[in-house]
């Protein structure tokens, strides 16, 4: 690992950490515009995180060490993911670890910890949120894996940088499989990031919430880390989506110039993606939790169809 490679890696991680709350702020702002509301400031998530960090943490009496540990594990997992997802460049030192399945595993790890921690304190909301989270995750993960498999099938590898490089260099054409996989991925991302039709990030209504129910017992720096991790998760998913379906512009290599050129493009793509997300959230209504299987089943179906269509039409 060369020093410059290491620095590039650090740069990508730093960009991810810095941009993630901004992305959340941007989505909230777009959503407010689309819904004719007064928009919150773009930088509100930073301020929230900052405010939370400067408070004293309160931990429930019955909480075990797991409860305290979880925010760090979740945040760490998301940082790892951010380091290996090819957002700016493909040839980074960590890239060798950037296997699609490993990535799904990282997300699953974070999910498991946060669900355990939610049940740890023993409140009704925590258990409820954890149960729903596992329910959604249980359905979303196969679909996500299917999408990644389709991409791997096209490129012949499960390594994310290789996938991105293959996809970026494909001949220009119409690929129905990628279109299906893209839609499936969007649906999975909505579910995984606790977005509208599956969860509503803006509500604390006990009947509907999933993510918020799990972090209800957290405060101060723990909550800050979890919120930041959630923002990072959204950022990571966006970057995976962009890498798979809009790979043009990601630097191939780890030179500074390429990354510098890739950064503005990434910001632009994320801005567009964030707007699209806000649009989807505005246009759709939240589903009953028991309709979530159908929603995710559709995503799974689409992912499978993408694979089948690829095998039949494009091989």
Partner 1 sequence: MAGLPLYAQLINLLAAILLLLAFAMLAQRRVLSLIDLFAAQGVALTASTAIVAWGTGQTHLWFSAALTLVLKVFVLPWILYRLIRRLDVRWDVEGMVNIPTTMLIGIVLVVFSFNLAYPISQLASTVTRSTLGIAIACVMLSFLMMITRRKAIPQVIGFLSMENGLFFAATSATYGMPMVVELGIALDVLVGMVILGVFFFQIREQFDSLDLKHLEKLKEPE
How many C-beta atoms lie closer than 10 Å to residue 211's C-beta?
23
Question: Under a CB-based contact definition with an 8 Å cutoff, are residues 90 and 10 in contact?
Answer: no
* 75 or 175: CB nearest partner 1: 175
Please select the residue that binds partner 1; options are 61, 173, 257, 285, rule is CB under 8 A: 173
Please select the residue that binds partner 1; options are 70, 87, 177, 193, rule is CB under 8 A: 177
- Taking CB under 8 A as the binding criterion, the range among 188-196, 212-220, 276-284, 306-314 that sits at the site for partner 1 is 306-314
Shortest reach from residue 176's CB to partner 1, in Å: 3
313 counts as binding partner 1 under rule CB under 8 A: yes
- Taking CB under 8 A as the binding criterion, the range among 83-91, 103-111, 241-249, 307-315 that sits at the site for partner 1 is 307-315
Please select the residue that binds partner 1; options are 40, 76, 249, 297, rule is CB under 8 A: 297
Shortest reach from residue 285's CB to partner 1, in Å: 16
- Taking CB under 8 A as the binding criterion, the range among 87-95, 102-110, 174-182, 221-229 that sits at the site for partner 1 is 174-182
179 counts as binding partner 1 under rule CB under 8 A: yes
What number of chain residues touch partner 1 (CB under 8 A)? 24
38 counts as binding partner 1 under rule CB under 8 A: no
Question: Under a CB-based contact definition with an 8 Å cutoff, are residues 52 and 227 in contact?
Answer: yes
For the four alpha carbons of 186, 191, 192 and 195, in that order, the dihedral sign comes to positive
Instruction: List CB contacts of 211: < 8 A, sequence separation 6 or more.
Output: 129, 133, 194, 199, 201, 230
Please select the residue that binds partner 1; options are 116, 176, 252, 287, rule is CB under 8 A: 176
149 counts as binding partner 1 under rule CB under 8 A: no
305 counts as binding partner 1 under rule CB under 8 A: yes
> Per-residue x/- mask for partner 1, residues 274 to 293, rule CB under 8 A?
-------------------x
312 counts as binding partner 1 under rule CB under 8 A: yes
Please select the residue that binds partner 1; options are 171, 207, 285, 290, rule is CB under 8 A: 171
* 150 or 200: CB nearest partner 1: 150
180 counts as binding partner 1 under rule CB under 8 A: yes
How many C-beta atoms lie closer than 10 Å to residue 37's C-beta?
9
301 counts as binding partner 1 under rule CB under 8 A: yes
Angle at 145 between CA 31 and CA 226, to 5 degrees: 50
* 240 or 305: CB nearest partner 1: 305
Shortest reach from residue 224's CB to partner 1, in Å: 39
* 118 or 181: CB nearest partner 1: 181
* Site residues (vs partner 1, CB under 8 A): 170-171, 173-177, 179-180, 293-294, 297-298, 301-302, 304-305, 308-309, 311-315
């Amino acid at each position: 690992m060369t020093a410059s490679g290491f620095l590039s890696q650090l740069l990508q991680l730093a960009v991810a950490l810095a941009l993630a709350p901004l992305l959340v702020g941007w989505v909230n702002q777009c959503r407010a515009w689309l819904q004719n509301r007064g928009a919150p400031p773009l930088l509100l998530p930073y301020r929230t995180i900052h405010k939370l960090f400067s408070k004293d943490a309160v931990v429930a009496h019955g909480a075990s060490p797991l409860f305290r540990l979880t925010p760090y594990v979740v945040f760490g997992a998301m940082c790892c993911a951010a380091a290996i997802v090819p957002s700016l460049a493909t040839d980074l030192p960590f890239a060798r670890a950037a296997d699609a399945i490993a990535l799904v595993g990282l997300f699953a790890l974070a999910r498991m910890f946060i669900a355990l921690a939610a049940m740890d304190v023993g409140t009704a909301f925590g258990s409820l949120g954890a149960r729903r989270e596992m329910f959604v995750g249980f359905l979303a993960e196969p679909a996500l894996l299917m999408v990644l498999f389709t991409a791997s099938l096209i490129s012949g590898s499960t390594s994310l940088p290789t996938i991105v490089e293959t996809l970026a260099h494909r001949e220009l054409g119409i690929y129905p499989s990628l279109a299906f996989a893209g839609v499936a991925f969007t649906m999975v991302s909505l579910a995984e990031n606790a977005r509208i039709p599956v969860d509503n990030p803006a509500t604390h209504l006990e009947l509907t919430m999933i993510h918020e129910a799990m972090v209800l017992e957290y405060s101060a720096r723990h909550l800050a880390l979890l919120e930041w991790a959630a923002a990072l998760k959204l950022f990571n998913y966006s970057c995976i989506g962009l890498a798979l379906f809009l790979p043009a512009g990601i630097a191939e290599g780890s030179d500074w110039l390429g990354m510098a050129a890739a950064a503005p493009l990434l910001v632009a793509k994320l801005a567009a993606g964030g707007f699209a997300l806000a649009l989807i959230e505005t246009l759709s209504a939240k589903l009953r939790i028991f309709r979530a299987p159908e929603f995710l089943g559709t995503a799974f179906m689409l992912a499978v169809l993408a694979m089948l269509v690829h095998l039949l039409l494009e091989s």
